[in-house]
Structure 1
Amino acid sequence: MARDVQITFDCADPAALSAFWAEALGYRLQDPPGGFETWDQALEAMGVPPENRNDASALVDPGGRGPRLFFQRVPEGKQAKNRVHLDVRAAPGLEGDARMKALEEEAERLVAHGAARVQRFEPAPPMQAGHIVMTDPEGNEFCLD
């Protein structure tokens, strides 16, 4: 039986990191519970103190295809290289120079939103199409693929 998957990010600032990933993936903030127009209204009604209102955030794929992304505040910072990372498919169907140009354009766009560029890997046919390693605003690695 196939299962739904949620991807969870430990982070220092759930609101900021979820905003970055919403921009990177075209996701949107999960709607507040029924009966509330905003998350602030919902959290107020739930009795969540203001200092805890950025303890978590969640994003959903507007098309309903991708997994939910959950961001939770943790006290410790990132310690080492990710063992699992996201590949953001920014150039599907493209090859060679056209592919790398599309990846470079997306890298530039995401840097403007707080990402950092780590390394570019050139195409090496037949097995490697080329990609760019990036980090999100909190240092989590991901690839533009």
Structure 2
Amino acid sequence: MARDVQITIDCADPAKLAAFWAEALGYRLQDPPAGFDSWDQALEAMGVPLERRNDASALVDPEGRGPRLFFQRVPEGKQVKNRVHLDVRAAPGLQGEARMAALEAEADRLVSHGATRVRRHEPVPPLEAGHIVMADPEGNEFCLD
């Protein structure tokens, strides 16, 4: 039986990182619980103190196809290279220079939203199509593929 998957990301600032990934993936903030117009309203009703209201944030695919992303605040910072990372499919179906140009354009767009460019891997046919390694605003690596 197939299972739903949620990707959980430990971070220092869930709201900020969720905003970055919403921009990168075209996701949106998960709606507040039924009966509430906003998360602030819901958290207030739940008795969550102001200093704890950025402990978590969640994004959903507006078309319901992709996994939910959950961002949780943790006390420690990022220490080492990620063993698991996201690949953002920014150039599906493209090859060669057209592919790399599309990846470069997406890299520039994400840098303007707080990402850092790490390195470019050139295409090496027939197996490697080329990709760009990036880091999100908290230093988590991801690839533009």
TM bracket, shorter-chain basis: over 0.9
Q: Which amino acid aligns with 1:22?
A: A
Structure 1 distance, partners of 2:77, 2:106, is 27
Partner residue, 2:18:
18
Q: CA deviation at 1:3?
A: 0.4
- Within 2, Cα distance between the matches of 1:15 and 1:86? 19
Q: CA deviation at 1:116?
A: 0.1
Q: Which residue of 1 aligns with 2:39?
A: 39
Identity of aligned residues (%): 84
Cα offset for 1:32? 0.0
3-state secondary structure, aligned to 2:40: helix
Match of 2:96 in 1: 96
Which residue of structure 2 lines up, in the alignment, with residue 8 of structure 1? 8
- What is the identity, as a one-letter code, of the residue corresponding to 2:46? M
TM-score in terms of structure 1 length: 1.00
Aligned ranges 1:116-127 → 2 under 5 Å? 116-127=116-127
- Tell me by how many angstroms 1:68 deviates: 0.1
Give the 3-state SS of the residue equivalent to 2:84 in structure 1: coil
Give the counterpart letter for 1:32 in structure 2.
P
2 CA distance for matches of 1:8 and 1:101?
Answer: 31
What is the rounded CA distance, in whole Å, between the counterparts of 2:81 and 2:108 in structure 1? 23
Q: Letter of the aligned partner of 1:73 in structure 2?
A: R
Q: Which ranges in structure 1 are unaligned for 5 or more consecutive residues?
A: none
What is the alpha-carbon distance in structure 1 between the residues aligned to residue 84 and residue 9 of structure 2?
11
Unaligned ranges ≥5, structure 2: none
Give the drift of 1:133.
0.1
Moved over 3 A (4+): none
Deviations 1:81-118 (A, max 9, x none): 00000000000000000000000000000000000000
TM-score, length-scaled by structure 2: 1.00
Partner of 1:75: 75
SS in structure 1 of the partner of residue 59 of structure 2: strand
Count of aligned pairs between the two proteins: 145
